[in-house]
Amino acid sequence: MTVAPPRTALDGGPYQSYVYAYPHKTAYRPLPERPALRDLWAGEPQDSLSLYLHVPFCEVRCGFCNLFTRVGAPDGLTGAYLDALERQAGAVRAALDGEARFATAAFGGGTPTFLTAAELERLCDIAERRMGADLRAVPLSVEASPATATADRLGVLADRGTTRLSLGVQSFVDAEARAAVRPQRRADVEDALGRVRDAAIPVLNIDLIYGIDGQTERTWRASLDAALAWRPEELYLYPLYVRPLTGLGRRATQEADPAWDEQRLRLYRAGRDHLLAHGYAQQSMRMFRRADAPPQGADDYACQTDGMIGLGCGARSYTSGLHYSFDYAVGMHQIRGIIDDFVARPAADFAHAETGRRVDGDEARRRHLLQSLLQAAGLEHAEYRARFGAAPADHFGDVLDRLADRGWLTDDGTALRLTPEGLAHSDAIGPALFSPAVRAAMTAYERR
């Protein structure tokens, strides 16, 4: 009797989940022991840390967004948030070695440029004066929206050393922007792009989304060409996801839609081929970089490496043995409560980790596999063996064989790499590599 193999994410549709971090925050749980940060970071390499500052505010919330962010801010809230961020920075820096150094920095959200120019100055001061990061000496990436990419804000960011500005455009077609519940006009987007170029920030990234209701190959090509007219150093092409508790999610069924999957795959392939024909190199399923663009560190910020310091109520931090953060939610009421709790905390509260997930040997191997395999450069055998003392197939042979059987994975003896069709199915491959324990924790998570 032949027993069928258990079903995995590979057996579902191509759009299971975007794996931007592993384990996902829905697998985190309260840490009853509330370990001290000083103990967590003792013995960790601290000569090449990454710094991430999270700003949980947006002027609007797009219909597809399930990020940790709130719309608007009552008078005084952004200032109170920066006060708390400064208290947290002091507590975190005190927990690190005196010789700790930062190699990269990023401001995300939310929308960091929701802050005023003066508040952005203060955000940079927190990174530099409180944390000790030299923003003019390391790659600094900042996320922005067209409405908040004003000349004064961009001037601050350029002056403080920003090397990459990521603008969330999503579509240059006004009707598509409305369908995604992102109220904006193309003329305003074009004005914002002009201001970014005037600010002379070295790398401009433009985010676009495919799979929007009413989008066709013609309108998708129109958005791609409108973006290409600005010769962005980077382009990210995101498939539209409809998630629970989002604006679009409240209006949609949660059933699989093979026709929509096929539409997204068709648009992805058309977009990929169009960018390749215009001199862009594919770095991952989502990321495309112009051939002459200056490097910006790890491609796609894939799953992030160990040695990540996150500040802010929506940020993660990563040691080799523990990933930790604050509480997580998607619903507006819950997010507001978490932000209110964050801004009221005394400095001593920031000296401990309270929500997170331990990362053992198996999870560390899975994370490295995800970090590497979902990038076009692939997973080098020698690097994996040097780190884990075995070949990738020794730990993950079954799933790697299934990928190869589908024509999604190749092995040239030096590295494992996804084929073009494998990259197209990254959002099924990533979840298929999750451990059973992480999948169970994510399934048990109560959305709120």
What is the per-residue pLDDT for 5?
Answer: 41
Average confidence (pLDDT) over 204-217: 96
Instruction: Indicate the range of 138-152, 250-264, 343-357, 421-435 predicted with least confidence.
Output: 250-264
What is the per-residue pLDDT for 322?
Answer: 97
pTM: 0.92
pLDDT greater than 70 at residue 127: yes
Helix H, strand E, coil C: the string for 23-56 is CCHHHCEECCCCCEHHHHHCCCCCCCEEEEEEEC
**Residue 138: what are its φ and ψ, rounded to 5°?**
-130, 160
Q: Where are the beta strands (DSSP E) in 136-210?
A: 140-144, 164-170, 203-210
What is the per-residue pLDDT for 328?
Answer: 83
What is the per-residue pLDDT for 1?
Answer: 33
Whole-number Å distance between alpha carbons of 288 and 267: 15
Instruction: Using alpha carbons, list the distances in angstroms from residue 41 to 31, 32, 132, 280, 352.
Output: 16, 18, 16, 39, 11
Q: Which residue has the higher pLDDT, 11 or 148?
A: 148
Average confidence (pLDDT) over 347-362: 96
Whole-number Å distance between alpha carbons of 27 and 24: 6
pLDDT greater than 50 at residue 18: yes
pLDDT greater than 70 at residue 414: yes
Domains and CATH numbers, the chain: 33-301 (3.20.20.70), 360-444 (1.10.10.920)
Q: pLDDT tens, 71-85? A: 888 889 999 999 999
Percent of the chain with pLDDT over 70: 91
Q: Given pLDDT bands bounded at 50, 70 and 90, which one contains residue 448?
A: confident
Q: Given pLDDT bands bounded at 50, 70 and 90, which one contains residue 282?
A: very high
Average confidence (pLDDT) over 26-43: 96
Average confidence (pLDDT) over 392-421: 97
**Three-state DSSP class for 395?**
helix
Instruction: Indicate the range of 100-104, 150-154, 180-184 predicted with least confidence.
Output: 180-184
pLDDT greater than 90 at residue 358: yes
Whole-number Å distance between alpha carbons of 442 and 184: 34
126: which DSSP letter?
I
What is the per-residue pLDDT for 150?
Answer: 98
Q: Where are the beta strands (DSSP E) in 83-202?
A: 102-109, 140-144, 164-170
Please give the mean pLDDT across all residues of the chain. Answer: 91
pLDDT greater than 60 at residue 197: yes
